[in-house]
Amino acid sequence: MLLLISSGGCARSLARIDMARDAFVAGDLTAAEETLVELSQSKDRYSSAASLDLAMVELAAGDAKSAERRFRKLRDDFDALASFAPMHEAAAMVGDDTARVYRPAAYEQIMIRAMLAVCSLATDGADAESYALQAAMRQSELAEDAKSRGIENVSEIYQSIAFAPYLRGVLREATHHDYDDAARAYQLVSAVEPRFSAVSNDIARANLGSHSNPGHGVLYVIGCVGRGPILKEVEAPTTTAAMQIASSVLNVTANQKDDKKDRAVALPNIASVKIPQVITPPSEVVGLGVRADGVAIGVTEVLTSVSELATKQTEAEMPWTIARAVMRRAAKETTVATVGNQLGLSGAAGSLFHFAVASAWSGSEHVDTRCWGLLPREIQVLRAELPAGDYTISLSSIGRSGHPIGSGVERPVTIVDGRNEYIIAIAPETTIYLAK
């Protein structure tokens, strides 16, 4: 009964957080914020995921300071979590992974720090470079951890996100004297994201030691574009790698409990299990068109694909994800068999009892699809050099046809000689929010 009650609560929270995300995409910030505030304060299993989404809503609403404070607290809280919580892990084996403490995935940990940098840029920019460095450092730490667990192609899967060194290059260049640092940062961007064509001009400009032409300033439009990665329940076949991981863990656990060496635990014949898989919801917007006083000055270009990052890292972790589901199924089937034996059930009655109870128990599981659902699909950038003066900057979502879709937004901007000006735009679909 407790499991059923808990499952009902999870289902309601999941439905409500999905409604809040849909409201955000549709342009209803008020509805999204009201729901997410309530969920974030509920202290249930979805509260942390709701808090991550709420920070994005605050940023989109123009309250970058509140968003920064929330992201910073979440970062610190997640970093302070114990590496292992026995009570929650035991509950997960009895029920499902929603009983575990919510821990953000690797890509989410990196993006918390990246979005902190964006929040800083939307205000005074004082801590933007520090946050960008934190994102790069966290990526390196995660890569080391993945390497220690035997994950292959770590350098590719956990390579530095281009946004971090790019932002460092932009901020170093803005000092008008740290051009060597800026050039090195831009070269790293070119190495990790060669598809970002604008970086060749950035490298050339930094090597020349020139921020901008005399009498000109620079406008940076940083766009959080498209609907980002979320988790969806799917049925996955058990792989050899996953079964080996599950078998090794169960054997170690059994030997520790029984104080016997080389005691082999036989896994049940499990063909498939339910797991969370990364998907990217469809979105018509592919970029942001930018105009200054009605004159087109460019379209944003993809600097970091959050969806690619999430997909790569989640697929790399897939053997461990499947192994956990296998171990849970094995633990439940072993428990049911033990109970059947204690009840004296054998033959057809024992088989029927085992099938019915094990199936019902496993069928009550919910896949853990908690995630940061309002991440963008991509971080895109446009750099435009403009003569000093006042402008009306217009932004519009660009559809797959290459034409504007939606109504667009405008913002007055003052370009100062030799200085950078930043506009932070969040465009999950045709609706565009301006953080600054």
Q: Pick the residue with more confidence: 298 or 346?
A: 298
Query: Alpha helices of 174-295 — where are they, by DSSP H?
Result: 179-192, 199-208, 240-258
CA distance 308 to 360: 36
CA distance 110 to 370: 17
Per residue in 241-299, pLDDT (tens digit) is 777 776 666 665 555 555 555 555 556 677 788 889 999 999 999 999 999 999 999 99
Per residue in 54-112, pLDDT (tens digit) is 999 999 999 999 999 999 999 999 999 876 555 555 555 555 567 778 999 999 999 99
- Whole-model pTM: value is 0.86
CATH of domain 2-434: 1.25.40.10
CA atoms within 13 A on the CB side of 93: 15
CA distance 368 to 14: 10
